[in-house]
Each structure stands twice: as structure tokens, then as C-alpha cells.
A and B are shown apart, each in its own frame.
Chain A
């Protein structure tokens, strides 16, 4: 972290600053719980490593949409202070219950046919139809869950940097999002690579995947409970 802070101090290029801020957001302990959940979610298609990589890219795209839209709204004249206050106040309060609901969906305990949110037994044709929408949605929502630290890096540093460059600076939130997504993609890919290797060796990749998805669903619920305890108690 000290290395990144030094880099940030010496950075004169806006894109590099945005990239470092994104990396700092990704590796700080503050959003760690959501990152672990995201790694699990992205790597759940362990049977297909390319799909894991694409899941990661679409997850990052979701984050980029959120970060860019917020920056655009502020650029168009919304009150930056009130906006950031709102997200800092409610972001973490919403994420806990939401993670539990997603976890229950994934375990097929709650059954509603929603596009993109597939349960454990979702059929492959359904998956093909909706493609990577679930990964995009997860990125979109997780980016909204600003914790105090990421809130300051985004609203206090990245947004002013973007506004200073006016509309042409809107590529900066995309770079920021990319940097927040890179560590998640790398970890997800490493997990998928390792687990699928073990699974293939025992020719039981299907069983592996089913169990892996169950573990991830439980992980969503545990992290959701963690957030609720942290924020409400």
C-alpha cells in the first residue's frame, strides 16, 4: 500500500492516478468481503476457465457502468457532497441483506424467475440466453456499496479528477473500475485453474462444480451476515 501511495504522490498523469486509486480500492481491507464474494461468484463456472475470465470482464464492466454513471450525474450538476454522503450512509446498509437474498437465490431456497440470476439447477440454455448479465449486475451493485475508504478514494479523489477534465475525463472512472476488477479476475482465474485441475484429475468436474456453487452461495450468506452485524450492531 505504501508503494501505491508513493506512486500516487508522484503521478502527474490522470489515467495513472485513476488506475492506482482503483488498485488501492481493490486491495484495501475495507471492501475485502465483497471482493471475496465476487471472486467466488466469478469463478463458479470452474468447468470452463474462459468463461471465468469473461465473467470477470463482465463483472468489471458492471463496476465501470456504476462508476461512470455516478461521475456523469455529478458532472451534470448533482450535488457531489450530498451524493457521496448518501452512498457512504446507505451503501453498506443495503449490501448485507442483498447478499443474503442473492445467496438464498443461488441455493434455490427462494425461487423467482429473474433474468440473469440463475440458481444451482439453472439450465444451460437459460444460461446461454442471458449470457453474462448476472456478472454485470453483480459488478453494478458491488460498486455501489461504498465503504468509508473506497468512498473517499472515489468521491474525494477520482470524481474531482474526472470533473476537472470535464466530459473528456469520463474515461477515468472506466480505468478506475478496471483496476478494481483486476485483482478479482486474477484470483478467480487462479481458483478456477486450480480447482478444475483437481476436478479433471479425478474426472469429477461436474460434482466439483455443484459443490463449489453451494459453497459460494453459503459464502454470500455469511458475508451478508457479516455486513449486517458490522453496520447494524
Chain B
């Protein structure tokens, strides 16, 4: 009787663990599938938990400009913006696949990657118009290809 109880407890525990671990695995897989879609443009802003004013501004401005410049693409799901915390375990596989280890602003389309981190940190605060212009130019470039 005692052994039955032990086996039952082990099975119950196994079910519990599989329930809790599944969603994050699915999320990561989902992210990977989305990024592999070569027609879609994914804009990622990777960051750590502690953030500075400039970092928050880059995220807010990039999102705002993408939505203002390409409303139809955003609406149709062909252009998306995601802000991801590198200290979140579920984000790590995607960061590894994209070769990201620090904070950065990346535009990804299929296997093409454009890094706009430096431009973001230089211009988002002091020259937001220039930052908008650069985003426009880079995304347009990806749309033509």
C-alpha cells in the first residue's frame, strides 16, 4: 500500500512539473517560429531589470515611431515590437539565437539583423527626429529587399 502511495505521489509531482514548465517552452518556441517568418519584421528591445532614463526613452520612442510610420504593417501583424528582459529565463533562448548578451535594439527580418543600439542611445533623447528618420530608413530598406 505504501509503495502505491509513493508511485502515485511521484506521478502527481511529474504532472505538476510538466504543467508549470510547458508554457515557457511553448512561448520560446512560438518566438522562434515568429522570427523565422521571413516576411515579418520583428523589432526587439532587449534590456536588463535595472534601467536608465535613456533606456526607457529608446523603448518608448522606437515603439511610438514604428506605430506612427507603419500603422498598416503593425495592424496586419507584419511588423511587431517587443521589449524583452534578458534576465527572464524564457527570453534567453531567443537572445542566444540572435547573438544578444547585452541591452540592444534590433530589427530582424528572416536572417537579416540590423543593430540600432548606438543610434538609439545617441539620438532618442537629444535628437528624436533623427532617431525616427533612421528607423524609417532601416525598416524601408528591409521592406524593399
Contact = CB atoms under 8 A, between A and B. Distances in A.
A153 B54 CA distance: 12
A191 B125 CA distance: 31
Contact of A2 (B54, B87, B118, B127): B127
A34 B103 CA distance: 21
Contact of A81 (B53, B99, B127): B99
B120 to A, nearest CB: 8
A148 B54 contact: yes
Nearest to B103: A148
A5 B127 contact: yes
A1 B53 CA distance: 14
Interface string A218-233: 0000000000001100
Interface residues of A, number: 27
Q: Please classify the interface of chain B as helix (H, G, I), strand (E, B), loop, or mixed, using the class held by over half of its residues.
A: loop
Interface stretch (B19-27, B43-51, B74-82): B43-51
B123 interface: yes
Interface in B97-139: 99-103, 117-118, 121-123, 125-127
Interface residues of B, number: 24
B125 A157 contact: no
A151 interface: yes
Interface string A140-167: 0000000111011101110000000000
Interface of B: 47-55, 86-87, 99-103, 117-118, 121-123, 125-127
Interface of A: 1-2, 5, 8, 28-30, 81-82, 84-86, 88-89, 92-93, 147-149, 151-153, 155-157, 230-231
Given A2-B126, A147-B52, 19 more contacts: A1-B125, A29-B53, A30-B54, A81-B102, A82-B101, A85-B86, A85-B102, A88-B103, A92-B50, A93-B50, A148-B54, A148-B55, A149-B55, A149-B121, A151-B102, A155-B102, A156-B121, A231-B49, A231-B50
